[in-house]
Amino acid sequence: MSSRQIVRKPVGLREGSSRAFEQRLFARLPWLAAPSLRLIARLQPSSRLRQALVWRGIRLSVEAFNRRDLDALAPTLDPDFEFHPPREGVEAGFFEPCYRGAAGYRKYVSELSDVWGADMRVESLELIDMGDRFVMLLDVPVRARASGVPLTGKLASIATLADGRAIHQQDYFDHAEALEAAGLRE
């Protein structure tokens, strides 16, 4: 592993959250998101200010996902954003190999809800800040829509940033596989 700074800790999620001030501001003035996120991205991962802002931003983003408020997520995505669902979901025919832009991500979330139901939500989150990449380790208990069978789901995401905005995200059903892909070993 290189000498890069890596910060890892859990992120507490709130139930029943609504849009925070910065989400309402960025939704109303989307041009303000890019320079704000770029400034945060310039800080070192060990910076207390960066940690406070990044952890809050990730928490707000996951809470927005939980309530399916994708408009609150859109300002954090680069216009050229690419989302790659877990390989197993693509191979099973549930998802396309790649979704592009905010509109593509909306399509993915719609397809995800078709498979797992609209009540699927992230319940716990651990974030690893690697500077230009984030690894998110998620617990996502789900109930298969067709069979009703409850499952304890693990999901991991590796998001690559460009100027503070997500430009690429790869999801995994296995935490260890994601950590290895990110160059981290448990």
- Give the closest residue to 160 by CA, choosing from 129, 122, 121: 129
Query: pLDDT band at residue 151, thresholds of 50, 70 and 90?
Result: low
Host H or E run for residue 180: helix 175-181
- Give the closest residue to 59 by CA, choosing from 81, 51, 98, 156: 51
Residue 1: pLDDT over 50: no
**CATH numbers and ranges of domains, the chain:** 18-181 (3.10.450.50)
DSSP letters spanning 81-94: EEEE--HHHHHTTS
Neighbouring C-beta atoms of residue 10, cutoff 10 Å: 11
Q: CA angle, 177 as apex, 38 and 146 as ends, to 5°?
A: 95
Question: What is the strand order of the sheet 154-162 is part of?
Answer: 7-11, 124-129, 133-139, 154-162, 165-172, 77-84, 99-100
DSSP 132: S
Q: What is the mean pLDDT of residues 95-117?
A: 91
Give 34-90 pLDDT, tens digit per residue: 999 999 999 999 999 999 999 999 999 999 999 999 999 999 999 999 999 999 989
Query: Is 135 in contact with 128 (CB distance < 8 Å)?
Result: yes
DSSP 56: H
How many whole angstroms separate alpha carbon 84 and alpha carbon 167? Answer: 11
Q: Is the sign of the CA dihedral 25, 66, 74, 133 positive or negative?
A: positive
Q: What is the mean pLDDT of residues 98-110?
A: 96
Query: pLDDT band at residue 144, thresholds of 50, 70 and 90?
Result: low
How many whole angstroms separate alpha carbon 40 and alpha carbon 104? Answer: 26
Q: What is the pLDDT of residue 2?
A: 45
